[in-house]
Amino acid sequence: MTKGFTIWFTGLSGAGKSTISALLEPALRTRGCKVEVLDGDVVRTHLSKGLTFSKEDRDTNIRRIGWVCQVLTRNDVVAIAAAISPYREVRQEVRKMIGRFVEVYIECPMDVLVERDTKGLYKQALEGKLDHFTGVSDPYEVPVNPEITINSDRDTPAESADQIMRWLVENGYL
């Protein structure tokens, strides 16, 4: 049986966090892992409903996700968190709380994110019509030393999931 750990995806909206998580989940289950995915959008709907996009509320949201991941991890579940989590300090805080923590930074250039954005949110934010949009009108602090960096503009989601699985095997998580 695999000891629990958390895979923490961070990156801008549209970078591929949810897509890669959805591929990683069955790959981990195939290896006999118990897995739970905490997708940022779903968590905001159920666990963090009513929070705004202020820095304080964003930090509260990430701490809530981190707490759930910590509970899952200590119960030998692989927790996958896929949330923008824009601030380094709170990511470090949840890393310390959880312990067995693998930070995966999904990197993607702004022009590709704008192109992928079917809702037009980047366009609105870049035109100044949408406030508090991470990476445009609100900051995103790139991780300093993530365990894994994925370039989602170059690698397919399947290649990215494979890269993460290889890293987990090579580093004794699986």
Burial class (CB in 10 A: 0-12, 13-18, 19+), 97: middle
Q: How much is the pLDDT for 135?
A: 87
Q: Please, which pLDDT band fits residue 58 given cuts at 50, 70 and 90?
A: confident
**152 is known as an active-site residue:** no
Q: What is the pTM of this model?
A: 0.93
pLDDT at 118: 86
Judged against a pLDDT cut of 70, whether residue 1 lies above it is answered with no
Does CATH number 3.40.1350.10 belong to domain 5-170? no
Helix (H, G, I), strand (E, B) or coil at 137: coil
pLDDT in tens, 95-105: 999 999 999 99
Q: pLDDT for 120-169, tens place per residue?
A: 999 999 998 988 899 898 899 999 999 999 999 999 999 999 999 999 99
In the set 85, 137, 152, 160, the catalytic residue is 85
Q: What is the pLDDT of residue 18?
A: 94
Q: Quickly tell me which residue has 């989602």 as its tokens.
A: 152
